[in-house]
Every structure is written in C-alpha cells, then in structure tokens.
Amino acid sequence: MNSSILLSLTTFIYGFAAFFYIVSVVFKKPFFGKTGTWTCLAGIAGNTGGIIMRWIESYRFGIGHAPLSNLYESLVFFSLVIVAIYLVVEKTYANRSLGAFTTPLAFLAMAYASLSPNISDRIQPLMPALKSNWLIAHVITCFIGYAAFAIAFGLGIMFLLKQKDSQGKVPFIKLFPDLHIMDELSHQMIMFGFLFLSAGIITGAVWANSAWGRYWGWDPKETWSLITWFIYATLLHARFMRGWHGKRLAYLSIIGFIAVLFTYFGVNLLSGLHSYGR
C-alpha cells in the first residue's frame, strides 16, 4: 500500500464519519454520534499515516521534501487539521452536533483531492524557490488558521439555524449548544484562526524575501490573503469595540470563510506564484 491508496481510503472514512454525525443529529441517536467520533479518530490515523508515508516516499524517489507543496498535499493536510480541531472542540464541550457541519468539509476536501481529474497525486520535485524550511512553517500556520475558520463557519450556520427556530419546531436543532455558547466558541475559533493566519502571512513574507528578494509582490494569493485578513480583523474589531455578537458575527464568519475558499481555490484561476492548479 502506498500513501495515495491510504489517503483515498481516508476519504471514505471521513465520509462515513460525516454520515454518522448527520444521522446522529437528524434522528437524535447518540450511538451514531459516538460512532462518528471513533470513525474520525480512525480517519486522523489514516490521514497522518498517509502524510508520513508520502514524506518517506519522497525520499525514496530522491526528492525528499515535506508533503505540503501542492494542491493535493495541502488539501490532505487541511482535512487533517479540520478534524483534529473539531475533536478538541467536541471533547471540550461534550457536544457532537458540530460534527454534522464540519466533518463534511473535511470529507469534501479529501474527496476533491482524491477524485478530481484536475489534481495530481504524484510526488513531484520542488522548484528551487520552494526548497526552504519556511515552506513548512508557512503552510502549517496558514492551514491551521483556515481550519479554525472552517469550524467557525460551521458554528455560524448552526447559530443562524437555532436562532431562526427559536420556538424549537425542528427537533434536531435542540441538540445544538446554546446560542451564547456557539457565539463565544465561534469568536474563540476566529481569534485562534486569525493569529495563525497572521503568522502564515508573516512567514510567507519572510520566505518570499529569502526566495525572491522582496517581502510582498501583490501576487493574487497574497492579495486575497490580505483581503481575508482584513475581513477577520474587521470582525474582531467590531466584536471588541462595538460589541457585535450573535447574528452579525455568524454572518461575518460565513463571509470570511467564503473569502478563505476563494483565497485557497479561486486564485488557481489566476496566474501567480501560488497558483497550484497551473
């Protein structure tokens, strides 16, 4: 078995986890929620094992680099961090309903990486500019931030659903945490993600200076990363200075994650140093 096969299997494991969490919430069956948790743990094991195997394989091919250098590898890592952060939240708050909104994101990311004909899972040599230890620091910090924003996105949707169903007409929405808990947790996830996104932008700038002799070049990815940073900075400013919370925070967390997705995928349609798809 090679890393690609293991990671393809992990895709289906995450798919089963998402299914179990959704069934648990819709039909209010705790057993399926517990099964989803154990399935997630199995997925993390497979995901981590696949990344390690891919790293070892790169050395066997005489390439030898961290598996974080292309769209396929970044999607694999993104899925791992989403599920890992979610499980920490699940353990902390003893509530599995969030899994129905976050594990599907990990599954879709893995499915896109594994099944899309436009994405290659081949291990390829790095271009000279990418041969830097800053690559690992930059990618890890960025994707931890993205994953935290994905969790906040799921919480935003849950918050809006629960607020709209204030009379409790939809039975499964009663399983969601209280509104103030989701509001505070979403804020914490956004702060956490903002710190790591900031670190990602800084490490990327340092890396760019060492590779190309300039800290910032207004590459499409750099520009949209800055736009995303400003969206979340505005959200946090509104929270701290104007006391925004609740529905406003939920909408902004959803808008912010849409910006994250465009920063991640949309720039592949544009020319630039970060265009994985080109």
Task: Looking at 94-133, list the stretches that DSSP marks H as alpha helix, in order from N- to C-terminal side.
Answer: 99-115
Q: Which two tokens stand for residue 68?
A: 């974080």
Q: Other CB atoms closer than 10 Å to residue 11's CB: what's the count?
A: 23
Is 34 or 125 the better-scoring residue by pLDDT? 34
Q: What is the pLDDT of residue 277?
A: 42
Angle, alpha carbons 42-46-49 (nearest 5°): 135
CB-facing half-sphere around the CA of 94: CA atoms within 13 A: 0
pLDDT in tens, 203-220: 988 888 887 778 777 788
Task: Looking at the chain, list the stretches that DSSP marks H as alpha helix, in order from N- to C-terminal side.
Answer: 3-26, 30-60, 71-93, 99-115, 134-164, 179-212, 220-242, 247-264
Residue 218: CB partners within 8 Å, gap ≥ 6?
none
Instruction: Give the pLDDT band of residue 278 (cuts 50, 70, 90).
Output: very low
Instruction: Find the mean pLDDT for residues 59-72.
Output: 87
* pTM listed for this prediction: 0.93
243 by Cβ neighbours in 10 Å (0-12 / 13-18 / 19+) ranks as exposed
